[in-house]
Amino acid sequence: MERSEAKQSPARRFLAGMRDGMPICVGYLAVAFSLGITAGNIGLTAFQGFLASLLNNASAGEYAGFALIAADAAYVEVALVILVANARYLLMSTALSQRFAPETPFFHRFLIAFDVTDENFALAIMRPGYIDPIYIYGAYAVDLTGWAVGTALGIAAGNILPARVVSALSVAIYGMFIAIIIPPARKDRVVGALVVLSFSASFAFAVLPLFSGLSAGTKTLILTIAISGAAAALFPVKEDKEARHDT
């Protein structure tokens, strides 16, 4: 958190987080709508879908969970599959933990870890200085609401909308994610090169026989460890001591 931001009131910082989280909310609303249709097809009510998304903001994890519910799988199986699908968030939470001020209370770290997603991670990590929990809570307030409400609306709509319309709505989240990664990629050539490398490696994992059979969560976990580890070793980020002292 920069000095100018630290001087702002908690309300202004919270509203700033809501403002920056609004594009994520819109993308989540669209994608969660299609997730809700899937949930409705297996018999979940709108309230059940809303609660599931409110407590588990993870598209791959929820899709996997709903598929297992439809297959009448055991609770242990559901828990293990969702754990594997969401394992990459453990890495993201570890990375974010290094960006907190040393005196940050545990409950802030715990609550922020609750809703670490690809988009929220990108939003938090691209800000200079220490992480401001109040700002992150503002972003969470809108995007988590969008995810939960979108799921409920999808269940309520059921199969009324044509499949092509639902598929078109899902494209919004890709545009949103591109909007998050392009600015830092334009500022830093290393980041830009790593973005291109990540896309290329992800495509390779999708088509190569050795990796194509892996789940989406496992592929993401392997690529995250390999690419981020190599980047950290080859292009270490210098500690901005002046910025840290300004917080």
Please count the structural domains in the chain: 1
Q: What are phi and psi of 181, to 5 degrees?
A: -90, -20
Would residue 130 count as lying in a domain?
Answer: yes
- What is the 8-class DSSP label of residue 214? S
- Write the CB contacts of 26 (distance below 8 Å, at least 6 apart in sequence): 146, 172, 176
Instruction: Give the whole-angstrom CA distance, residue 227 versus residue 143.
Output: 27
- Site of tokens 């996997």: 64
Instruction: Give the whole-angstrom CA distance, residue 107 versus residue 96.
Output: 14
Token readout for 51 is: 């609660």
Would residue 73 count as lying in a domain?
Answer: yes
**Across 62-71, 81-90, 211-220, 226-235, least confident range:** 211-220
Instruction: Give the whole-angstrom CA distance, residue 105 versus residue 51.
Output: 28
Per-residue pLDDT at 244 = 46
Each residue of 121-146: b (16+ CB within 10 Å) or e? bbbbeebebbbbbbbbbbbbbbbbbb
Would residue 66 count as lying in a domain?
Answer: yes
Per-residue pLDDT at 151 = 92
Would residue 163 count as lying in a domain?
Answer: yes
Across the chain, the runs of DSSP E, i.e. the strands, are none
Token readout for 113 is: 């870890």
**Across 92-106, 143-157, 196-210, 220-234, least confident range:** 220-234
The larger pLDDT score, comparing residue 3 to residue 196, is at: 196
Would residue 101 count as lying in a domain?
Answer: yes
Overall average pLDDT of the 171-188 stretch: 72
Rg (CA), the chain: 19
Would residue 72 count as lying in a domain?
Answer: yes
Domain containing 91: what range?
Answer: 3-176
Instruction: Give the whole-angstrom CA distance, residue 6 versus residue 136.
Output: 14
Q: Please count the CA atoms within 13 angstroms of the CA of 118 that sit on its side-chain side.
A: 21
Would residue 147 count as lying in a domain?
Answer: yes
Would residue 99 count as lying in a domain?
Answer: yes
Per-residue pLDDT at 61 = 79
